[in-house]
C-alpha cells in the first residue's frame, strides 16, 4: 500500500480547535446496511453487512466547513473516519456504493431527505432558472446480478481468462480510487479524456495472474495493459462485467419549468464533497450563533450542545425559541 495513502486512512483529523475534549461520551448511532454485503472486506470484517455510524455533530460540521478538505478531495474520507464507530474498521476497503450509502444516510439524518438543485431551462425560448428536487426517501439500492453473485461471495472478485493470463475484477473501493487518481495525476501530461476506458480498467482490475506471478500495483497493471493490447471484444467483455459489479445508487426524477412548463429529466447528483451544499462561511457563522444561543438562552451546557446530533440541536433551537416567545409574550 502506498505509504502516503495508508497514512490518510490512519490519521484522524485534528479537531482540538473545533471541539472540546470534555464533550459528553454520549453519541447517537444507527446501523447502516451496506449494498456490498461485506463481500469485499478482509479478515474478521468479511461478510459484515452493516456497520454502526454516528450522526453528524459539531465535530463533523467543522469538517464540512473546512475549506482545505474540499480542495484536497479528502472531505468524504474525513467524514467516514469521524462517523464510523468501529475505529478498526477498514475504511479503505469500502466500495464506492458503500461509501455513497453512508454519506446519503448522514445527509438525510442531518439535513432531511430532500435535495434541491437549481438549473437553467434548456428550452431555447426560456433559459430561465428552474429547480429540481430529489426525495431520498424513495431511493432504491441496487443488488448484484445472479450471474456474478456466487463468485463474488466466494472469492471477492470475478475471474476472466485472456490468453494465458487471468484478470481478476472487483468493485472499486475507496483506496483503489485514490491510488489510481494519484497515479494518473503523476502521468497527467500524457493523459486526456480519451483514456477513460483505461482508467476504468485500472480501477477495477484487482490483480493479474500471469505465469504464477501476481501483478497488483496500478503502475504494473498499466504496463501490462500496454504490452498486451486487448481486442475490442475482450475490452467490451471486461467493461460489461465492470458495469455489472460496480453498483450505483440511482434516483431519476423529472422537473417541470414553472415558467414554460418544459419537462426535463435528471439523475441523482454524484455524491461528492459538494453534496451537502453548504455555504461554508455563512453556515459556520450561523453554527456558532446557534450554539451560543442555546448556551445563553437555553441554559444548556456548552459541551453537551457540541455533542448534540445536528437534527437534535435544531429541535432545541426551535423549542428554546417557542419558550422565549411564551415567556416574553411576543
In a domain, 276, yes or no: yes
Task: Specify the pTM.
Answer: 0.87
In a domain, 48, yes or no: yes
Q: Tell me, what's the pLDDT at 67?
A: 85
- Are 29 and 106 in a shared domain? yes
- Are 9 and 32 in a shared domain? yes
Q: Which residue among 211, 245, 279 closes a domain? A: 245
Tally of CB atoms within 10 A around 32: 19
In a domain, 172, yes or no: yes
Q: Which residue among 245, 266, 290 closes a domain? A: 245
- Are 12 and 131 in a shared domain? yes
Residue-wise pLDDT tens digits, 23-64: 345 678 999 999 999 999 999 999 999 999 999 999 999 999
Q: Which residue among 212, 245, 278 closes a domain? A: 245
- Are 31 and 133 in a shared domain? yes
Residue-wise pLDDT tens digits, 107-152: 999 988 998 889 999 999 999 999 999 999 888 888 898 899 999 9
Average pLDDT across each block of 10 residues of the chain; the chain has 330 residues. List them in order.
Answer: 64 42 61 94 93 94 89 86 94 94 93 90 93 89 89 93 93 92 82 76 94 93 91 91 91 92 90 79 89 92 91 92 86
In a domain, 328, yes or no: no
| Domain span including residue 236 | 146-245
- Are 92 and 127 in a shared domain? yes
- Are 241 and 157 in a shared domain? yes
- Are 42 and 107 in a shared domain? yes
C-alpha separations of 243 from 93, 124, 160, 169 in Å:
19, 35, 15, 11
C-alpha separations of 93 from 42, 187, 225 in Å:
8, 25, 24
Number of structural domains the chain divides into: 2
- Are 11 and 135 in a shared domain? yes
Go through 140-157 and write b for each residue having 16 or more CB atoms within 10 A of its CB, e for each that does not: eeeebeeeeeeebeeebb
- Are 125 and 260 in a shared domain? yes
Q: Tell me, what's the pLDDT at 93?
A: 95
Q: How far out from the chain centre does Cα 166 lie? A: 31
Cα–Cα distance measured from residue 242 to residue 236, given in angstroms and rounded to the nearest whole number: 10
In a domain, 288, yes or no: yes
In a domain, 78, yes or no: yes
- Are 264 and 306 in a shared domain? yes
Q: Tell me, what's the pLDDT at 19?
A: 36
Q: Tell me, what's the pLDDT at 145?
A: 87
In a domain, 18, yes or no: yes
- Are 43 and 178 in a shared domain? no
Q: Tell me, what's the pLDDT at 17?
A: 38
- Are 9 and 122 in a shared domain? yes
In a domain, 272, yes or no: yes
C-alpha separations of 264 from 121, 127, 180, 249, 250 in Å:
8, 13, 35, 20, 16
Cα–Cα distance measured from residue 157 to residue 159, given in angstroms and rounded to the nearest whole number: 7
Amino acid at each position: 500500500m502506498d505509504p502516503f495513502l495508508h497514512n490518510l486512512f490512519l490519521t484522524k483529523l485534528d479537531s482540538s480547535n473545533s471541539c472540546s475534549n470534555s464533550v459528553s461520551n454520549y453519541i447517537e448511532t444507527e446501523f447502516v446496511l451496506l449494498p456490498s454485503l461485506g463481500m469485499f472486506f478482509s479478515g474478521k470484517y468479511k461478510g459484515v453487512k452493516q456497520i454502526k455510524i454516528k450522526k453528524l455533530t459539531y465535530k463533523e460540521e467543522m469538517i464540512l466547513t473546512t475549506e482545505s478538505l474540499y480542495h484536497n478531495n479528502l472531505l468524504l474520507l474525513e467524514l467516514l473516519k469521524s462517523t464510523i464507530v468501529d475505529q478498526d474498521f477498514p475504511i479503505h476497503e469500502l466500495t464506492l456504493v458503500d461509501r455513497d450509502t453512508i454519506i446519503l444516510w448522514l445527509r438525510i439524518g442531518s439535513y432531511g431527505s430532500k435535495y434541491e438543485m437549481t438549473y437553467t431551462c434548456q428550452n431555447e425560448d426560456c433559459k430561465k432558472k428552474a429547480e429540481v428536487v430529489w426525495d431520498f426517501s424513495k431511493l432504491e439500492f441496487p443488488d448484484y446480478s445472479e450471474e456474478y453473485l456466487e463468485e463474488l461471495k466466494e472469492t471477492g472478485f470475478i475471474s476472466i481468462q485472456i490468453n494465458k493470463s487471468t484478470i481478476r475484477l472487483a468493485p472499486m473501493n475507496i483506496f483503489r480510487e485514490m491510488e489510481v487518481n494519484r497515479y494518473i495525476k503523476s502521468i497527467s501530461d500524457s493523459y486526456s479524456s480519451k483514456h477513460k476506458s483505461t482508467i476504468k480498467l485500472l480501477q477495477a482490475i484487482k490483480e493479474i495472474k500471469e505465469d504464477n506471478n501476481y501483478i497488483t500495483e496500478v503502475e504494473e497493471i498499466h504496463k501490462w495493459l500496454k504490452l498486451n493490447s486487448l481486442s475490442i471484444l475482450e475490452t467490451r467483455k471486461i467493461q460489461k462485467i465492470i458495469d455489472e459489479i460496480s453498483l450505483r445508487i440511482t434516483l431519476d426524477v423529472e422537473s417541470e419549468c414553472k415558467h414554460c412548463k418544459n419537462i426535463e429529466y435528471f439523475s441523482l447528483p454524484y455524491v461528492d464533497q459538494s453534496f451537502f451544499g453548504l455555504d461554508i462561511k455563512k453556515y459556520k457563522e450561523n453554527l456558532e450563533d446557534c450554539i451560543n444561543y442555546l448556551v445563553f438562552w437555553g441554559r444548556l451546557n456548552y459541551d453537551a450542545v457540541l455533542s448534540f446530533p445536528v437534527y437534535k440541536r435544531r429541535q432545541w433551537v426551535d423549542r428554546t425559541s417557542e419558550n422565549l416567545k411564551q415567556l416574553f409574550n411576543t
